[in-house]
Amino acid sequence: MDFLKKIFPFIILLSSVFSPKSLCAIETLDRIVAVVNNSVITQQQLSEHIEMSRQQSLAENKPIPDAATFRKQVLNEMIDNELQLQLAATAGLKINEAALDKTIMSIAQRNGFTLEQLRQKLQQENIPYAKYRQQIRQQLIISRLQQDEVAAKITVTDQEIKDMLMHMPKSTPQKAAYHVEDLLIPFPTKPSTAEITRIKTTALSLLQQAKSGTSFQELIEKAKQFNPPLTGGDLGWRLLNDLPDIFQTPVQKLKPGEITGPIQADNGFHLVRLLEMRGDNSTPHYVTSTHSRHILIKTSPLLNNQQAELRLKEIRADILRGGSFAELAKKYSQDPGSAYKGGDLGWTLPGLFDPTFEAQIKKLAINQISLPFQTQFGWHIVQVLGRAQKLQTSQNVSREQAAQLVYQRKFQQALKNWLRQIRNQSYVKII
């Protein structure tokens, strides 16, 4: 059951793995339980989602209400999600296959699996891979829609942070948490002893390169000829017990910036870098704060991926010829939270942005402008304006926690109001 908790990593649990059926296509044997504009939700879909939500609640040790209340909660969640998917379709929001593949691969890697092992685990839980893939796609679509329609419009003021700090309890020692980066040198299917030895030799070579200053991302890009290809990424902040078992002991022996490996797992050899550490068994330390700005272009029915990328290449060329990044961001960027500031994202700590966006920032030198790249939010170019080492003390940790609490409260209330608004503007009938 703990596995279910790990492979559904998003806040949103979607209403149905299946797309809603049109009114004219419903079989009479499958009773309609709700009409949502021109779509319907059937009893079969509701039953499937009730069971999935029940399993998720058990995995997270959440109490499950009585059957009638639980059914009502799940059905309302399904209706909200269907309305959001309809709105996303109208806006032309889509998740391409490459982005979906990358997300699922990232989920597998964070749990120490290959993609094939993830498929096998899903099969053991009676979850068809195609349905799981569709669910993750829908989660990404809704996440992007909520980012555009709700999150991007939220601001947190200094006064709100100060007010929150006044009401926060005094901090208590935290459990140790580790910010970890992983590089996987994968095994082929059913590797022989000779292949394992060869791959370990490769892993040792890559370890030396990494210790000499080459980033994991650079190693991945340099080794595109590998088959299977190298994979990896930022695992974010994890409590020790949330790390894969084979990482736990080696990571505790590392200091920030150090790398360990090769660590042999079922899916290959891992190199692990400890980026930062915090908690009751760590001392105050410095973390890298980055000042950056970006320009975002979103795809739409009138602008496909190729056109969005081309537009950003032209904007980047204008900047390199002497144009103002800030003025071009104000003119073209579709990020409402930063466009009016010339694309300025301010000084940020690791873990704030989309992992792909973070990876691009890490690769850039000061004042360098990236080539166009894609995240779940659209196409970007980003420029790093500065880097500084920031002392991570209990005082600034508390301030960051307060800012996050204010943001989360405002987001949850804004999301609730927005969902109520789109439901009021729609035709919804529960049968």
Strand partners for 430: 34
- Quick check: 34 pLDDT over 60? yes
Across the range 411-423, mean pLDDT stands at 91
Q: Best-predicted range by mean pLDDT among 273-282, 336-345, 416-425?
A: 416-425
**pLDDT the model gives residue 110:** 63
Q: Specify the pLDDT at position 17.
A: 35
- Higher local confidence (pLDDT), 142 or 18: 142
Over 80: is that where the pLDDT of 390 sits?
Answer: no
What per-residue confidence (pLDDT) applies to 319?
A: 93
Q: Is the pLDDT of residue 138 over 70?
A: yes
CATH of domain 286-392: 3.10.50.40
Give me the numbers of helices (H) and strands (E) for the chain, helices first please.
14, 12
Q: Please tell me the pTM assigned to this model.
A: 0.53
273 close to 216: Cβ distance less than 8 angstroms: yes
Q: Return the higher-pLDDT residue of 11 and 192.
A: 192
Domain ranges of the chain: 2-149, 177-279, 286-392
Please report, rounded to a whole number, the percentage of residues in the chain having pLDDT higher than 90: 20
Provide φ and ψ at 407, rounded to 5°: -60, -45
Q: How many CB atoms within 10 Å of residue 231? A: 22
What distances in angstroms separate CA 317 from CA 10, 324, 369, 372, one per listed residue? 37, 11, 10, 11
At residue 71, what is the residue type?
R
Residue 24 has pLDDT above 70, yes or no: no
For residue 308, name the pLDDT band (cuts at 50, 70, 90): confident
pLDDT exceeds cutoff 70 at 280: no
Q: What is the pLDDT of residue 407?
A: 82
Q: Per-residue pLDDT tens for 228-245?
A: 788 877 888 888 878 887
Q: E-strand spans in 298-377?
A: 344-348, 373-375
pLDDT tops 80 at residue 58: no
Residue 6 has pLDDT above 70, yes or no: no
Query: Among residues 362, 369, 341, which one has the least CA distance to residue 290?
Result: 362
Domain 2-149 has CATH 1.10.4030.10: yes
One fold for 2-149 and 286-392:
no
Least confident of 187-191, 277-281, 425-429: 277-281
What is the rounded average pLDDT for all residues in the chain?
A: 81
103-117, 168-182, 202-216, 305-319 — most confident range:
305-319
- The β-bridge partners of 21 are 40
**Quick one: fold of 177-279?**
Chitinase A; domain 3 (3.10.50)
pLDDT at 186 over 90: no
- Between β-strands 32-36 and 39-42, what pairing exists: parallel, antiparallel or unpaired? antiparallel
**pLDDT in the model for residue 160:** 86
